[in-house]
Each structure stands twice: as C-alpha cells, then as structure tokens.
Chain A
Amino acid sequence: MKKFAIAIHAGAENMKKSEVSPEKEKAYRDGLSEALNAGWRVLKKGGTAVDAVETAVRSLEDNPLFNAGKGAALTELGENKMDAAIMDGKDMNAGACSNVQQVKNPISLARAIMEKTKHVYLTSDGAMDFAREQELTLKPIPYFQEEERIKEWEKQHEKEKKKPEARAKLRVD
C-alpha cells in the first residue's frame, strides 16, 4: 500500500481539564475522530490531499463545538465573520477568503478561489459575491450563532466596555 496520512487540529487553548465535563470531552473527541476519519477515507480511496483536507475541515466547520463555520466566534458587532485558506503542495496554488458570512463551509470557498480564479485571496463582499456565483451553500445567520458563543461574547463584550484594555484577552483563536 502506498503511504498516505492525515492530521487535524482545532484550537490551542488554556482551558483546564477540570473545566471540561466528561460528556463535553467525549463530544470533542468524537468530533475530532469524525473529521479525521472523513479525511482518511478520502485518502484511502485514492483521493487527493486537497480533497482530504477540505473534507476534514468541512466536518470540523459543521461541528458547533469548534470555532469555524457553525459555532464561529462573534465579532464586536455580534456578527460571525469567517476566514479560511487552502494550499495545494503539488503546485503551490492557494486560495483564501476572509470576513465572509453565511457561507456554510468557508474552506470550500477558499478552494473555489484557488481553483476558479486567478487570485489567491478574496475578502468581504467580493468573496460573498463569488460564493453566490459558485452556488456554494449559504445558511441564514442564526445557523452559525451557537448559544455558548453568544454567552462568551456577552461576557467579553461587557468586560471590554468596562475595561477597554481587556480587548481580546479572552483568546478564542
């Protein structure tokens, strides 16, 4: 069998083990396993590395436990603004997007930018126009707004209103 492999990550944080219930920990592990195995199956069938990383990241974006896609963090305006990038090591082609809303899987938008434009990086309205042109799946804003993220945002928003230097101290990458 030819070599193939995949690795994935979600956030790097300072959360303590005691802050995570066994149920929550299991949910994290299940979410990681699901994404890892989704990407691995693509490789096992002979799919490309680009297909595999897109598949794994889409799975993580669809899981509200992780800070991307559904469950993305909220900006100071209480909006979800998502960023993504993909790079193909074969030809060093790359695609990226930032400040996009309502795109269910920003990683697939990044891939479309890589493969279907002459550019590397589209942002904001232009990226959204391109997502619509490519008929990527869009979701209504409430789809992305998880209760836990809203609570995090309210806590941080209040803290920063009282103490502006607290900005971004709550680092949810």
Chain B
Amino acid sequence: TVGAVALDQDGNLAAATSTGGLTNQMNGRVGDSPIIGAGTYANSEVVAVSCTGEGEEIMRSVLAHEVYALMKYKGLSVQEAVDEAVDMYKKKIGGDKGIIAMDPNGEVGMVYNCNLMFRGFRQGGDDPVVRIWED
C-alpha cells in the first residue's frame, strides 16, 4: 500500500491511498484502502489520514476516522492521535498498522506498530525527510 496526505497554501487538506492488496489474497477481497474512514479520510478542519498494514484490522478499527475523532472530540495533537489510534484496539482487534496524518498547520503524525514503515515528509521550505526503520 502507498499513500499521501497534504496541506496546500489555501489551507486545504487531502488524503490518497492505493494498494495491490495481499499476496495470494482471496479473489474478490477488498482491503481498507478504498474504504473511506478506514484506510483514507480527510477533513480540512481537522486532519487528513492514510493507513497501511493489515486491512481487515484497519477496517474493523475504522482507523482513519478514529484519528479524526481523537483530534476533534478528545482534542489530541496529530501525533498523539495516531499514537493512540494504532493501539486502541490492540487486544480486541490487533494487527500490524501504519498511519500517516497531517493537521491544518502542516504538522505531521506518523506511527507504526511493526518493524518498519516506508515514509517521508516535507514541510514548506524545509529539507525532505525520508525514513524506513526507526532511524
């Protein structure tokens, strides 16, 4: 799965996610990526979110919207929200997950609960940052 979130100069947020699914997945299986609120979500007033990982678990967690809800209703920052969302249903649902999110100030939240997530961000005129492991 690949994805992106962005804030433009007019203050609007957007999210996009695209995937090839699981290797040898059952014919007809659809994962979280195209499910709005599960793998992808954006509201310019709060956050834009894209998810990767185990799709069934992400769908059952309604993960992208969970990040939105934690920010809107609990008042968490974008990093706090992704940190809380990734482990929110750890016992009931579990699953390897990765989340990227961006708030209306261009702040980035990133989290994953497995060995790595291929990821990067670039804010305004700053240099780009690209990471794979906990580097």
A and B form one complex: yes
Instruction: Give me the interface of A with B, judged by CB distance under 8 Å.
Output: 1-17, 25, 28-29, 32-33, 35-37, 39-40, 43, 46-50, 52-54, 56-57, 60-61, 66-69, 71-77, 79-90, 92, 94, 96-99, 106-107, 110, 120-121, 123, 149, 152-153, 156-157, 160, 167-168, 170-173
A36 touches B16 (CB 8 A): no
> Quick one: which of B3, B6, B22, B112 has the most chain A CB within 10 A?
B6
Interface size class of B (residues with CB under 8 A): 35 or more
Q: How far is the CB of A156 from chain B (nearest CB, A)?
A: 4
Contact for A86 among B14, B23, B96, CB less than 8 A:
B14
Contact of A6 among B6, B26, B43 (CB under 8 A): B6
Q: A6-B4, A53-B5 are in contact. Are A84 and B19 (CB under 8 A)?
A: yes
Pairwise interchain contact B39-A85, C-beta atoms closer than 8 A: yes
B31 lies within 8 A of A3 (CB): no
Is the pair A43, B33 in contact by a Cβ cutoff of 8 Å?
Answer: no
Question: Tally of A-B residue pairs with Cβ under 8 A?
Answer: 330
Contact B128 A37 (CB under 8 A): yes
A107 close to B18 (CB less than 8 A): yes
Are the C-beta atoms of A168 and B128 separated by less than 8 Å? no
The answer for the CA separation of A60 and B130 in the assembled complex, in Å, is 14
> Which residue from B13, B17, B31, B112 sits with its C-beta under 8 Å from A89?
B13
B55 touches A96 (CB 8 A): no
Contact B20–A120 (Cβ < 8 Å):
no
